[in-house]
Structure 1
Amino acid sequence: MQSYHIYLIRHGMTASNLEGRFIGKTDLPLCPEGIAGLASLMQEGEYPGVGLVYTSPLLRCVQTAHLLYPEMDLISLPQLREFDFGDFENKSLDQLKDDSRFVTFMENKMKSPAPGGSEGMAQFENRVMEGFEVLLKDMMKKQIFSAAVVTHGGVIMTLLGGCGLPRTKPSYWSCQPGEGYGILLNLAVWSNAKSFEIGGKIPYRGEPEQEAQYHLVDPEYIRSLDEKMGGDRS
């Protein structure tokens, strides 16, 4: 059964990232340092060539995608926008640390919406998964087997923490602006277990571990799933 290479890339830096502010739905552009940082990453490493490029609709992601893949058309997926921090948007931890509403919000692990926000963590995770399913169905329909997804840190951690192998907590997959991870999604494994394999970091810099990715799922297990599902029907 067919496999898909998908590269999850965090947007470049914004002024609020530099200042340590919470930004989710706030639609900020890249700052000059963010643009320079992406240029440095492109010089130091290599972003994979892909057949499709998907983005969050927020400007910082769209700008990043245009810089990394200037010749590609972009496909916007609103489900892949960042978490809505409500009244805490664009405020720093120093500004919020004495706000009892923020303390409660964090102690509750963001399960309930932030004051003035539209979603709690469960709703956010469901939205992100819905967007990923839309993306995968689009790739299947177009018969394109590689894609870049320029999105947000929270989205990347949610996908990798919820579906990725090896299994670990989402915060393990935190990444710097302009960086991310490649994944290998086998349709048989995805259909059976909603799981994919996590490979090397993006952009590629020639690290030894990036030469040997995707060895976590037993090939015999994949073959058995293929047989159970009737072979390659993609």
Structure 2
Amino acid sequence: MSDSRPTIYFIRHGETDWNLEGRLQGQKDIPLNDLGRVQAEEAGRRLMGLVPHVEDLAYVASPMTRTRETMALLRTAMGLDPESYRLDERLVELTFGDWEGLTWKEVRKKEPQLAALRERDKWNYAPPGGESYAMLTARVRPILDDLTRDTVVVAHGGVARAFLAATCGVSTRDAASIDIWQGKVLVIQRRSYRWV
């Protein structure tokens, strides 16, 4: 990826009750909670502090409820039309398959051998009926190639990890475990990243 690639302002959706409970959401369509709505507005204010003309950016979101809510709230906080952005199905979170709705503690108790396999290789392991980070990266990589201008992407923790591995050279081992914060902006620029 050359230095001429557009800057990505990546925002993870705000908190949901399942985030709070430590449940694997994956592709379950869980809405934001009260804190998640505040985090979405905070992300909008952070973005305004970063970019002088937020109206000049492209905006794209995962079609899930929690990401659409986050996008609408952050755009409203910046004085922009809350509905004026596009959706991209490829940005949906990776699916945890049969494990969705469970906590990691429940997964380890229910399927200790499979949980151990995932711990050994988080990037390449796909849960029963689910996806691996490697599969997710293959799904989202074309989005990165399609970007023609600086873009705000509202999506999910797994998608952020895939972006970091694909664009910044973060090792797959590190990318699989990196914390992706809610309410902050992950700036991906010139093969590096920083949090604002």
**TM-score (structure 2 length as normaliser):** 0.79
SS class of match (1:12): coil
Paired with 1:35 and 1:181, the residues of 2 have a C-alpha distance of: 18
Q: Report the structure number with the largest CA radius of gyration.
A: 1
Is 1:116 matched up with 2:129? yes
Instruction: Give the direction of change, closer, same or farther, for the CA distance of 1:129–1:40 in structure 2 (3 Å limit).
Output: closer
Q: Which structure is higher in RCO with an 8 Å CA cutoff and minimum separation 6?
A: 2
User: What's the Cα RMSD here?
Assistant: 2.4
Question: Please, which of 62, 73, 76 is the counterpart of residue 68 of structure 2?
Answer: 62
Instruction: Give the direction of change, closer, same or farther, for the CA distance of 1:16–1:172 in structure 2 (3 Å limit).
Output: closer
1:163 paired residue number: 167
2:13 paired residue number: 11
Instruction: Give the direction of change, closer, same or farther, for the CA distance of 1:112–1:37 in structure 2 (3 Å limit).
Output: closer
Note the 1:2-151 alignment, pairs <5 A.
4-40=6-42, 45-47=46-48, 48=51, 49=54, 50-70=56-76, 71-72=80-81, 73-98=84-109, 99-100=111-112, 101-109=114-122, 111-117=124-130, 119-134=131-146, 136=147, 139=148, 145-151=149-155
Paired with 2:44 and 2:59, the residues of 1 have a C-alpha distance of: 17
SS class of match (1:157): helix
Deviations 1:86-123 (A, max 9, x none): 01112112211222333333334252431122x33322
Paired with 2:60 and 2:150, the residues of 1 have a C-alpha distance of: 11
Deviations 1:122-146 (A, max 9, x none): 2211001123223x1xx3xxxxx32
Gaps of 5+ in 1: 140-144, 185-195, 203-234
Deviations 1:20-71 (A, max 9, x none): 111111111101121133345556x444414211001111111101011132
Asked if the contact 1:14/1:34 (under 8 Å) is kept, the reply is yes
Paired with 1:103 and 1:20, the residues of 2 have a C-alpha distance of: 18
**TM-score (structure 1 length as normaliser):** 0.67
Instruction: Give the direction of change, closer, same or farther, for the CA distance of 1:181–1:108 in structure 2 (3 Å limit).
Output: closer
Paired with 1:197 and 1:68, the residues of 2 have a C-alpha distance of: 26
Asked if the contact 2:42/2:74 (under 8 Å) is kept, the reply is no
